[in-house]
């Protein structure tokens, strides 16, 4: 069963990994990905992420269920933050646990590809001079094709 959280507060990677593996001896690999707010041009003041409560969690559950049906996972975690975030802040954590590394790596990649393109979050970047909504990237949509979606 996946652990899904959509929250304003930051997460602690070590605590999340400890929770994922608590009481388990069948886990041979845990792959994690932490996405952070990046300031590519040195002008980003903040990024605001918005979502629809309930709908967002349901979509994340669907993504996790799909990953669990494709790979032999011992567990997975998806935590996505919302609200106003600053450069360097954590945005998302994906963790996939399995008996073997290949399944954990592939599942983590799959989860992130779907989060980037299918999860119902909206991002607005604020540079102090201008505030604008961020469009989805073509590269994120293209990444889904390798998963047959």
Question: Tell me: the pLDDT tens digits for 94-126?
Answer: 999 999 999 999 999 999 999 988 888 999 999
- C-alpha 35: how far from chain center: 7
Higher pLDDT, 148 or 71: 71
- Between CA 50 and CA 42 the distance in angstroms is 23
23 pLDDT more than 70: yes
- Between CA 29 and CA 106 the distance in angstroms is 12
Return the structure tokens found at 40. Answer: 């590519």
- Between CA 37 and CA 130 the distance in angstroms is 17
For residues 12 and 95, the answer to whether their CB atoms sit within 8 Å is no
pLDDT of residue 61: 96
Return the structure tokens found at 125. Answer: 């970047």
Cα distances (Å, whole numbers) of residue 26 to 45, 74, 81, 116: 44, 8, 30, 30
Q: What is the pTM of this model?
A: 0.92
141 pLDDT more than 90: no
CB atoms within 10 A of CB 139: 9
Backbone angles phi, psi at 95, to 5 degrees: -135, 135
> Which fold does the domain 3-129 belong to in CATH?
Aldehyde Oxidoreductase; domain 3 (3.90.1170)
pLDDT of residue 140: 66
Average pLDDT over residues 26-54: 94
149 pLDDT more than 70: no
């Amino acid at each position: 069963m996946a652990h899904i959280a959509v929250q304003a507060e930051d997460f602690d990677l070590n605590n999340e990994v400890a929770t994922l593996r608590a009481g388990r001896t069948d886990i041979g690999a845990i792959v994690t990905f932490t996405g952070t707010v990046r300031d590519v041009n040195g002008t980003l003041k903040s990024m605001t992420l918005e979502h629809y409560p309930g709908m967002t969690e349901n979509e994340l559950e669907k993504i996790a269920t799909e990953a669990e049906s494709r790979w032999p996972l011992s567990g997975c975690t998806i935590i996505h933050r919302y609200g106003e975030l600053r450069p360097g802040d954590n945005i998302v954590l994906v963790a996939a646990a399995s008996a073997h590394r290949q399944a954990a790596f592939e599942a983590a990649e799959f989860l992130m590809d779907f989060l980037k393109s299918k999860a119902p979050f909206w991002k607005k970047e604020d540079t102090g001079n201008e505030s604008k909504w961020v469009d989805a990237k073509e590269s994120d949509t293209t990444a889904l094709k390798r998963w047959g979606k």
